């Protein structure tokens, strides 16, 4: 991007021309961000365009355009969602495993934990849902805040939109820690995605590229009533900040999630060894076409949470 021209050196014709270009550029970026959920510039670049537009408009108020990005409703900048700092960073996984890596994965865990021959390394295999991860905060069993992953440290506050997702409980059942942050994936089923796009086509709206984009675009609507009309679903699979420990194993944690009222992926399965894990991979692969939503692999989680901790699963990049 070329450096911004000094205002004092600009003619009105130049200012008007730059304002026109800014209006076009900003509305294109808004469309990519809000409707397609596929931004092509980073937040800083986008903000600098908006800032430049504001400066020019302030200096030349009579040149403010009817379609000024500052006046536009329905497509506001990202800053309109409040920011949420994640107390526990929301990590992402690097490469998914393929089948051949599974034996190596078990061997590395055994080595790292310095395990005896007799000791079994149980894992839980779960489909890796191709949606977007969110964090749900509950205080005294009541849902109080929902946040997107963002950059992992800071996400967007999407509480009001989350409240419209029927899969996500507002009040939890049973005994619940005072502070409980549950993480999981928001996604859209193939069937719901197809219907949404059909309706959009009929009304001449831009189509979503895939269910993931549709889910992300739907969750990040500034108007929660739009999110409410979108068929979003949720699976819970992890946690963030908690006021007390939740379970001794990941499997028990999943059971606990169900008691609290969260949907847990029924494909999740316990594996006692590498052979089981390979079989779980094959089973999930076989079921893939029948699931009705996109997955992009299988995630293996060491079942014992004290081992997860020693392996650095929770605090750092997971092993």
Smallest distance, ligand IVH to C-beta of residue 84, A? 16
Examine residue 267 and tell whether it contacts ligand IVH (CB under 6 A).
Answer: no
Examine residue 93 and tell whether it contacts ligand IVH (CB under 6 A).
Answer: yes
Q: Which of 124, 129, 214, 257 binds ligand IVH (CB under 6 A)?
A: 129
Q: How far apart are CA 193 and CA 211, in angstroms?
A: 6
Examine residue 308 and tell whether it contacts ligand IVH (CB under 6 A).
Answer: no
Place of tokens 């800014």: 22
Place of tokens 């089981």: 276
Examine residue 156 and tell whether it contacts ligand IVH (CB under 6 A).
Answer: no
Smallest distance, ligand IVH to C-beta of residue 151, A? 12
Residue among 270, 255, 235, 236 at smallest CA distance from 174: 255
Examine residue 106 and tell whether it contacts ligand IVH (CB under 6 A).
Answer: no
Smallest distance, ligand IVH to C-beta of residue 221, A? 20
**Which residues form the catalytic set?**
128
Smallest distance, ligand IVH to C-beta of residue 255, A? 15
Q: Where are the beta strands (DSSP E) in the chain?
A: 83-85, 123-129, 132-139, 142-148, 154-156, 179-187, 233-242, 269-271, 295-302
Cβ atoms 252, 141 nearer than 8 A: no
Q: Which of 148, 238, 249, 308 binds ligand IVH (CB under 6 A)?
A: 238
Cβ atoms 156, 222 nearer than 8 A: no
Question: How many residues sit in the footprint of ligand IVH (CB under 6 A)?
Answer: 12
**Of the listed pieces 27-35, 52-60, 90-98, 304-312, which binds ligand IVH according to CB under 6 A?**
90-98
Nearest position to ligand IVH, beta carbon: 133
Examine residue 33 and tell whether it contacts ligand IVH (CB under 6 A).
Answer: no
The H-assigned helical ranges of the chain are 12-30, 43-59, 101-113, 159-162, 190-202, 211-219, 224-229, 250-260, 274-291, 305-311
Sequence-distant (6+) residues with CB within 8 A of 144 are 137, 138, 159
Examine residue 92 and tell whether it contacts ligand IVH (CB under 6 A).
Answer: yes
Binding region for ligand IVH (CB under 6 A)? 91-93, 126, 128-129, 133, 185, 237-238, 299, 318
């Amino acid at each position: 991007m070329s450096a911004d021209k000094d205002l004092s050196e600009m003619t009105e014709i130049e200012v008007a021309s730059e304002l026109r270009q800014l209006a076009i550029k900003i509305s294109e970026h808004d469309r990519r961000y809000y409707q397609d959920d596929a931004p092509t510039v980073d937040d800083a670049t986008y903000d600098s365009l908006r800032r430049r537009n504001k400066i020019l408009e302030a200096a030349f108020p009579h040149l403010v355009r009817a379609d000024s990005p500052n006046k536009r409703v329905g497509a506001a900048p990202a800053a309109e969602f409040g920011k949420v700092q994640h107390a526990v960073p929301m990590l992402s996984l690097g490469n998914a495993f393929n089948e051949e890596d599974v034996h190596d994965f078990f061997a590395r865990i055994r080595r790292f934990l310095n395990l005896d021959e007799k000791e079994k390394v149980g894992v839980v295999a779960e489909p890796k849902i191709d949606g977007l991860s969110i964090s749900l905060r509950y205080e005294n069993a009541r849902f109080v805040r929902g946040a997107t992953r963002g950059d992992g440290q800071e996400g967007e506050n999407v509480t009001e939109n989350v409240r419209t997702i029927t899969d996500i409980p507002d009040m939890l059942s049973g005994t619940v820690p005072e502070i409980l942050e549950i993480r999981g994936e928001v996604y859209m089923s193939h069937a719901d995605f197809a219907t949404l796009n059909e309706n959009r086509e009929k009304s001449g709206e831009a189509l979503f590229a895939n269910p993931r984009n549709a889910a992300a675009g739907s969750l990040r609507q500034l108007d929660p009533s739009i999110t409410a009309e979108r068929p979003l679903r949720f699976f819970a699979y992890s946690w963030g900040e908690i006021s007390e420990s939740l379970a001794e194993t990941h499997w028990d944690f999943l059971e606990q999630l169900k008691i609290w009222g969260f949907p847990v992926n029924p494909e999740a399965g316990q594996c006692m060894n590498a052979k089981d894990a390979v079989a779980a991979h094959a089973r999930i692969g076989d079921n893939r076409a029948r699931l009705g939503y996109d997955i992009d692999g299988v995630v293996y989680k060491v079942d014992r949470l004290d081992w997860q901790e020693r392996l650095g699963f929770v605090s750092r990049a997971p092993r």
